[in-house]
Amino acid sequence: METFVVTGGAGFIGSAFIRYMLKKHRDRRIVCFDALTYAADMSNLSSVMRDPLFSFIKGDITAEDDVENLFAAYRPSVIVNFAAESHVDRSIESPSLFIKTNVDGTGTLLDASLRHGIRRFHQISTDEVYGDLPLDHPEMRFTELSPLRPSSPYSASKAAADLLALSYHRTYGLDVTVSRCSNNFGPCQNREKLIPKTVWNAIHDESIPVYGDGLNVRDWIHTDEHSRAIDQIIERGRSGEVYNIGGNNEINNITLVKEILSVLDKPLSLIEYVPDRKGHDRRYAVDPSKIRDELGFEAEKHSIRDTVLHYANLWKA
């Protein structure tokens, strides 16, 4: 039976991927390897903790000993690297941790993968590596061939990690794939992020900060769809290739916040415009044709309303 190591699996999307995989495939073991930073929450994994196909190991991707012990003990054939510092605002305050975790940590995993031999290394990346698009050209979208022009220390560190992973394919012949996905929504996201934070503040009648003019556009996809796409790339994607994953679901921040307030029946007066984030990207949008044409993947629409109600019910109880 194959063993998949999922790094960062106690976080938002990694935990969704683990839940998805254990439901979908009963022919492989899943090992979650996570340093349990502020962003992790073990309750994200409570539904799988007793699954005999699941194991949890606390460890740091930047610590060579932790990674070596992991590979020696579990002999994984697939590595799915979600582990990262992921919050753009934190990267603006302290970039060095982002470089260490996102770049050095990926390098440590790649080295161990080479030493031990694996079937596939899948690097989870982000559409933010392409930088942003202007608001007045809605027809423009990033393809996998678009130049990398990251704006924040977070996205720059992710771009560096992508390139490092792809260089291990070219230089050493390691089997590597990379996916660059748009903004995710769904359960288990840290309360610092836009959707959960807006719900939390709204149900507690606290003001909801919106950066700048609120017109920044993001493309939203549910974590279950992101997980389904990753599963298909790992199984059928071509080695050495990058795949964009998008939801075809663009919405600007202020419209999203207003929708959340409407779902929760809260007044618009809770919105408070605050000075813009430094280097704030205006619009992200990826062209998802490659994954559709090569792997037949098209994201199904999930309503953001369900996610909003999920958090509201969780926190009201």
Ligand X SMILES: NC(=O)c1ccc[n+]([C@@H]2O[C@H](COP(=O)([O-])OP(=O)(O)OC[C@H]3O[C@@H](n4cnc5c(N)ncnc54)[C@H](O)[C@@H]3O)[C@@H](O)[C@H]2O)c1
Residues known to be catalytic: 127-128, 154
**91 within 8 A of 277, measured Cβ to Cβ:** no
User: Is residue 153 within the footprint of ligand X (CB under 6 A)?
Assistant: no
The nearer residue to ligand X, 3 or 62, going by C-beta atoms, is 62
Q: Nearer Cβ to ligand X, position 201 or 227?
A: 227
Segment lying near ligand X (by CB under 6 A), choices 130-138, 177-185, 260-268, 299-307:
177-185
> Does residue number 183 form part of the binding site for ligand X (CB under 6 A)?
yes
DSSP 54-120: EEEEE--TT-HHHHHHHHHHH--SEEEE--S---HHHHHH-HHHHIIIIIIHHHHHHHHHHHH--SE
Please, which residue, 190 or 289, has the CB nearer to ligand X? 190
Q: Binders of ligand X among 108-137, rule CB under 6 A? A: 124, 126
Residue 7 contacts ligand X per CB under 6 A:
yes
32 touches ligand X by CB under 6 A: no
Candidates 89, 88, 57, 58; CA nearest to 74 is 57
Number of H helices, E strands in the chain: 11, 12
Q: Is 306 helix (H, G, I), strand (E, B) or coil?
A: helix
In the complex, what is the shortest distance from the CB of residue 7 to ligand X, in angstroms, rounded to a whole number?
6
Q: Which is nearer to ligand X, 128 or 266 (CB)?
A: 128
- Binding-site member from 40, 110, 233, 256 for ligand X (CB under 6 A): 40
Q: Which range binds ligand X by CB under 6 A, 9-17, 204-212, 274-282, 299-307?
A: 9-17
Q: Check residue 106 for interaction with ligand X (CB under 6 A).
A: no
Q: How far is the CB of 197 from ligand X (least distance, A)?
A: 13
Query: Quick one: tokens of 257?
Result: 């916040």
Would you say 21 and 28 are in contact if contact means Cβ atoms under 8 Å apart? yes
Interatomic CA distance for residues 108 and 115, integer angstroms: 11
Q: How does strand 78-81 pair with strand 54-58?
A: unpaired
Indicate the residue among 34 and 281 with the shorter CB distance to ligand X: 34
If binding is defined by CB under 6 A, does position 156 make contact with ligand X?
A: no
Tell which one of 86, 146, 151, 198 touches ligand X (CB under 6 A): 86
Structural tokens at position 289: 């044709």
CB of 69 to ligand X, least distance (A): 13
Could you give phi then psi for residue 46, rounded to 5 degrees?
-60, -30
| Angstrom distance (rounded) from CA 169 to CA 23 | 31
Q: Interface with ligand X by CB under 6 A: which residues?
A: 7-8, 10-14, 34-37, 39-40, 60-62, 82-84, 86, 101, 105, 124, 126, 158, 181, 183-184, 190
